[in-house]
Amino acid sequence: MKNILLLSLLACSILAQAQKPETSISVHDPVIIKQDSVYYIFCTGMGISVWSSTNMKEWKKEKPVFEKAPQWAVDAVPGFKGHVWAPDISFHNGLFYLYYAVSAFGKNTSCIGLAINKTLDPRSPNYKWTDLGKVIQSVPNRDKWNAIDPNLIVEENKTAWLDFGSFWDGIKLVKLDSNLEKVAQPEEWHSLASRPRSSAADSAAGDGAIEAPFIFKKGKYFYLFVSFDYCCRGPKSTYKMMVGRCEKVTGPYLDKNNKDMALGGGTLLLQGDSNWYGVGHNAVATFDNKDYLIFHGYDAHDNGKPKLRIEELTWINDWPEVK
């Protein structure tokens, strides 16, 4: 009996440790949303990684969005096995819209897909992700843009846009239909931001390192956040966040020096330091009348491991600064 009791106590201890929330979680490309009293992080990972928290400090790992890779994505991207990139979550029309990217690494063989759900609470009987398939696809030697890093922005007049892109010709914007599921007809496309690249080949990324767009409306301005330079290299990561603004969602987005981001402009918001090798791929969210910058950084004190960072934003002369 004593041995059984000890084993039971040990099992309970192990279970408690396994369920204990984490305060320093490893993530790439995080976005955040709140439903009721719970915050949810969606980020790059197998099937799209999900974390939940009641205080934005202690996080619990939830089941991924997809148990297995969507078949349409397997068919569209050779070698794709379910590692989904850079999701974007928002709530519209009574539903949660989750855009995500599937891609071959370093190539513009890429697609943006969409899944919807009535709730984010995995314990709810209404919890079920319905995948609606492909929204946009980029094809090597046909397109000089890359269909990754999606971000939905809906104007006050309900016009919906999807900004996305990386490297190649940079960041693009396309109008969506009223269901937020497909490109609107007739098609309307805009180029928002880019950097000079030495490679002119359509199939090569070149060195115009720009990605991870996120558009946030504050007052009369739309703000375009992007990441410059290189992620995913641990101690060699040089990621940093840049920003520009415009009174129209379609641009042109200008930096503090009035340089167009489509011509390589951008004002520095945050970069790496002695504690973080690089920081980037941000989202912005508002909770309780406070604006937050959500992003990942490469921890210089933990072998360059990517970790979640959440910082409050302040606004000086209508420009964002990390508080």
Active site amino acids:
29, 211
Q: What share of the chain is helix, strand, coil (3-state, %, to 5)?
A: 10, 45, 45
Q: 284-301 burial string, b = 16+ CB within 10 Å, else e?
A: bbeeeeebbbbbbbbbbe
B/e letters for 189-209, b = 16+ CB within 10 Å, e = fewer, are: ebbbbbbebeeeeeebbbebb
Helices and strands, counts by H and E, the chain: 2, 21
Place of tokens 């020096």: 257
- E-strand ranges in 4-158 read 31-35, 38-43, 45-46, 49-53, 60-62, 83-92, 95-103, 110-117, 130-138, 151-154
